[in-house]
Structure 1
């Protein structure tokens, strides 16, 4: 696999990122005004929507006491990582691609690169924890209440974030010197991932978690189908009960199918370009990265908008009902 290199260098005859540095400045990519406007509107609208949806989810779970459960704690971790992706990573990534100029200096370029890797890894790790939580709840319900406690979930979430920070920061520090050597002009933000570390990064932060998510969801889906079949075959599930069981089976299949398909659909296409040099395919890499960022916008919809309590809390937040005394004790679960 070729090293991954992010380079904004454009052809000759284009404006400079730093006009005063004639000999050392990178050249700015000049898109047609209409194209640039569309790109800015699309990317910043997606970033804003990502921030708003995840902020609503964070306020909902943090404010209402009924929602202080182990499952929602993992959901809160996912919302925080996705919120920071929409707040920091998406706007800076969009500006850099559209203008091909990095104006924040090489040090902040390294910080931004590490932050984007950490947040993406934390988001994937949180999805894995949610999958494990649902597996325990559906496949091992007798052990779930005794083993899945708030303290253990807090430790799991802390471990998830700690691993994401330590691993990705160490990886970026190792490759930081190589990236600085590859910087050819002022206004460039270069990220280099060599062959060995690139495959390790792919395995640790992508292939292994996705494989575990798929395996867990398949077992959950199989258990849900088995339970609904038992409901249909029982005497109490006659007539109306059988119809209800079929609806539950369809709903379980739809929820799990949408979660898995959308997550894989947003993540897997990037694998097709892992053996290509980013400097030669910057546009492909940009849209591949934004396809993964799109999952940060869809996560609150997939994991929360399916549930009525989230719609109730949104109404209470938008109408400012949460400002009333004792609003945290409101009943949002029916």
Structure 2
């Protein structure tokens, strides 16, 4: 008895069927990947939307034109680029491994990726420095920190980020034609030496600066709360302890949230990168843990903006289209303080 096994017709798909040197598609069908595509797309949209609200709020309302808010604006712009350009590019490569945007866009993509992420990290450093100066020397803060000085500092931060990422891509041979194996491929091969350099430059050093500054801020906040408690007259001892404990608790929570989120989103990527010999932009390490660093861009506006009352007020004005009124830029966003 002859048993004839049915032949399975496997159709090979190409990114660009009309091109003889096209890469093969690595399509990932199935409900799981469709669900993942929807979730990641929603994260991208939310990242763009939240950071766009911050950008519009600070740019439009004159009351928000302060040095501190300029840093938050810089952070929002960096995170906005992550949601608008970086996340969609990664989703496209994740879905079928093909790059449809051309050679020039492939050259620019890792630069934009690194620029937006490193600029976001530098903005976090500037926020920590700004808060340290405001807490340690509040009387002289307005003379030491101005909008002009902060604008120059932010420009220098973005310029250094751009310069660093151009070097990063260049010395990993991303611009060499020999690195492209087929048409429709866009992969960055990262040398192990540059993994170490990037670890020190973009993660270890910024994280150390942030944690040291916030630790000092926390200590100053405790000392100031105790000084206020000691100088307070006319209230009971229990009320004094309540005021002091409240200030200490708020400082501790803010310190804990900032450090925990930054640490959680960034350290898995670098630890996993150190554990492999060759890192590429399409590797499992880069795909899985790289998305944690992108999600940090979604969380940043929640930490640095949504917790502020002015952001909630400005968001309601924007969503109700009151921003289109002629005098909307001069609206008072701090009415609860009067």
Q: Give runs of aligned pairs for residues 144-159 of structure 1, distance below 5 A.
A: 144-159=141-156
Instruction: Please say if 1:85 is aligned against 2:82.
Output: yes
- TM-aligned CA distance change 1:291 to 1:280, over 3 Å: closer
1:103 and 1:278 map into 2 onto residues whose CA distance is 22
Aligned to 2:157: 160
Aligned to 2:293: 292
Residues 1-30 of structure 1, C-alpha deviations (whole Å, 9 max, x = no match): xxxxxxxxxxx97522222345x3222222
Aligned to 1:325: 326
Instruction: Please say if 1:215 is aligned against 2:212.
Output: yes
2:302 and 2:269 map into 1 onto residues whose CA distance is 22
Aligned to 1:233: 230
Gaps of 5+ in 2: 1-9
The count of aligned residue pairs is 322
What TM-score, normalized by structure 1, do the two folds share? Answer: 0.90
1:161 and 1:235 map into 2 onto residues whose CA distance is 45
1:205 and 1:70 map into 2 onto residues whose CA distance is 24
Q: Which moved more, 1:242-251 or 1:48-57?
A: 242-251
Residues 135-189 of structure 1, C-alpha deviations (whole Å, 9 max, x = no match): 1111222332211111110110010011111121133233335753232222211
Residues 73-114 of structure 1, C-alpha deviations (whole Å, 9 max, x = no match): 011000001111100110111111221111122321110111
- Higher Cα radius of gyration: 2
Residues 274-332 of structure 1, C-alpha deviations (whole Å, 9 max, x = no match): 23223598223211111000010111100011111111111111111121221211111
1:273 and 1:252 map into 2 onto residues whose CA distance is 32
Equivalent position SS for 1:16? coil
What is the aligned counterpart of 1:17 among 15, 18, 36? Answer: 15
What TM-score, normalized by structure 2, do the two folds share? Answer: 0.89
Shift of 1:225: 1.6
1:279 and 1:160 map into 2 onto residues whose CA distance is 27
Aligned to 2:177: 180
- TM-aligned CA distance change 1:143 to 1:109, over 3 Å: same
Equivalent position SS for 2:140? helix
- TM-aligned CA distance change 1:98 to 1:253, over 3 Å: same
Equivalent position SS for 1:304? helix
1:161 and 1:280 map into 2 onto residues whose CA distance is 23
Residues 273 and 285, structure 2, Cα contact 8 Å, conserved in 1: no
2:231 and 2:222 map into 1 onto residues whose CA distance is 14
Bigger RCO (CA 8 Å, 6+ sep) = 1
- TM-aligned CA distance change 1:281 to 1:171, over 3 Å: closer
Residues 111 and 166, structure 2, Cα contact 8 Å, conserved in 1: yes
What is the aligned counterpart of 2:26 among 25, 29, 33? Answer: 29
- TM-aligned CA distance change 1:241 to 1:61, over 3 Å: farther
Residues 181-202 of structure 1, C-alpha deviations (whole Å, 9 max, x = no match): 2322222112122233332222
Residues 231 and 242, structure 1, Cα contact 8 Å, conserved in 2: no
1:164 and 1:177 map into 2 onto residues whose CA distance is 18
Aligned to 1:132: 129
Residues 48 and 80, structure 2, Cα contact 8 Å, conserved in 1: yes
Gaps of 5+ in 1: 1-11
Residues 14 and 30, structure 1, Cα contact 8 Å, conserved in 2: no
- TM-aligned CA distance change 1:308 to 1:241, over 3 Å: farther
Tell me how large the CA RMSD over aligned residues is: 2.0
Shift of 1:208: 1.0
